Every structure is written in structure tokens, then in C-alpha cells.
Amino acid sequence: MNGRLRRRYERLLFTYPSAYRAAHGAEIISTLLDAVRPDQQLPSPRETTSLLLGGLRMRARQAAKESPSRMWTDGLHLGVLLIVLVNLSHALEMPFPLWIALVAVGALAVGALAMGALAIGALAIGRLVIGRSRI
Amino acid sequence: MSEPSYFILAALLDDPLHGYGIIKKTAELSDGRIQLAAGTLYGALDRLAEEGLLLADREEVVEGRTRRYYRLTDRGSHALHREAARMEQAARIVTRRSGLAATNPNLA
């Protein structure tokens, strides 16, 4: 039944890591189709949001599992940058308060996280759009 | 333990259930308060399986739909009962007081 709705849900699953999709995709689609109203043609906004967020979370968890050292090296780089900035301010004898360095490093950290999330999001949206244009 | 996790484990106390079965049972147990979306449900199932609290039991394909059943492990059952005892104890702090207030209007 309802092949079109099934395909739409399958496209939403592209936010999930491929290995997870291979193992659980079929059962998730079945669960989604079990839960639809008889006249439903489109994925519900609630299920759509939940799948997009669920997929991103699963990717984040997988990335953390595969390379926990990555997070530590990123943190280390930011720490080194902070020390360099503080030393630089002393060397130049500039009134370069510590809080500016802290804010700068904080912004970099937030920026790095945001870039990562954006990259994943853009990838997912790109796949959805490409998937849709193929119909 | 988060509330959805608690209700998912509680839904599996009697029998193994598949995804949609868990969604229906958690809604029933929580008087409709917990309406799990699939993304939330499978995220929680993955985490709970990783913690060894439940596991995938068997898989069936019925009319083109794949249904995997999940069941509680002994560890999951212990964790659930521990959490229930903790909440009962926490609830008693308040319910004992409101019980007093109900019998003695001066305390209300």
C-alpha cells in the first residue's frame, strides 16, 4: 500500500548513517507505515522532524564512537590557540585582555560545531532534493 | 533514566513488542502523554540496546512489512525496577504530605 508515502519516508532515512539504515531501515519504514492515518499522503511534520534529528544524532554518536580522539585533538588545538593568543598579547605588550582571547576561542569552538552540523544538514538536504528530483 | 526510556522498558515487561507495538503500548501506559515518533523511538532503542537493557528478539516479514521484536534483558528489568523504586520513594515525600493536608485542613 501507499508506495509514494513509503518512498518519501525512505528518503528521510538518508539522514541516518548507511550502516544503521541497512540494519534498521526496513523496520523503521514499517513502523512509520503502521502509524499512518488511512488517508495520509505526506510524512507528518512530527515524524519528519523526529527522523531528521534522529539521523543527525545517530551520525554524531557514530562519529564519537569511531574517533573519540578527534574531539580531544580539536579541544587540544583550541587550547594551544588560546595559549598562543595570551602569549602574543604579552609579547606585544598590548592591552589585550584575556576575555577577548576566551571569547575568540569560544566563538571558534561554537563555529566548528556549527560547521559540522551545517555540513551534515546540507548533505542530508542535498540528498533529499536530489532524491525528489528523480521522481 | 529519561521518561520515554522508562516507558519503553515498561512496555516490554510482559512480552516482546515490535516498533509500532511499543508506540501503542507506551501511549496506553502513559494515558496518552507519551506519543513516540519513530526517530525518537529508534534512537532510544539503539541506546538502550547498547546499554544492554533490551535486545532485538526476532524478525518477521508480514505483508511486505518488516517487524523486529524487542525484549527486555534481565539487566533491563533490574534497571526498570530500581528506577520505579526510586520514583516511588521520591513521590512519597510529596504524597505523604498531601495525605496529611487532606485529613487536616490546617496544613493545607
List the CATH number of the domain containing B41: 1.10.10.10
- For B59-77, the pLDDT digits (tens) are 999 888 999 999 999 999 9
- For A77-127, the pLDDT digits (tens) are 767 776 776 666 666 665 556 666 667 667 777 766 776 667 667 666 666
Question: Is the CB of B20 less than 8 angstroms away from the CB of A34?
Answer: yes
Whether A25 and A56 map to the same domain: the answer is yes
Task: Please name the member of B41, B43, B67 whose beta carbon is closest to the beta carbon of A58.
Answer: B43
- The whole domain housing A111 covers 67-135
Question: Is the CB of B19 less than 8 angstroms away from the CB of A47?
Answer: no
Shortest Cα–Cα distance, A39 to chain B (Å): 18
pLDDT at A135: 39
Domain final position from A18, A33, A66: A66
Question: Is the CB of A47 less than 8 angstroms away from the CB of B46?
Answer: no
Residue B48 lies in a domain: yes
CB A17 within 8 A of CB B54: no
Residue B85, all three cell numbers: 523504586
What is the phi/psi pair of residue B104, to 5°? -125, 100
- The whole domain housing B60 covers 3-101
Q: How many domains does chain A have?
A: 2
Q: A93, exposed or middle or buried, with CB in 10 Å at 0-12, 13-18, 19+?
A: exposed
Residues B22, B28: Cα–Cα separation, whole Å: 10
Partners of A34 on chain B (C-beta within 8 Å) are 19-20, 65
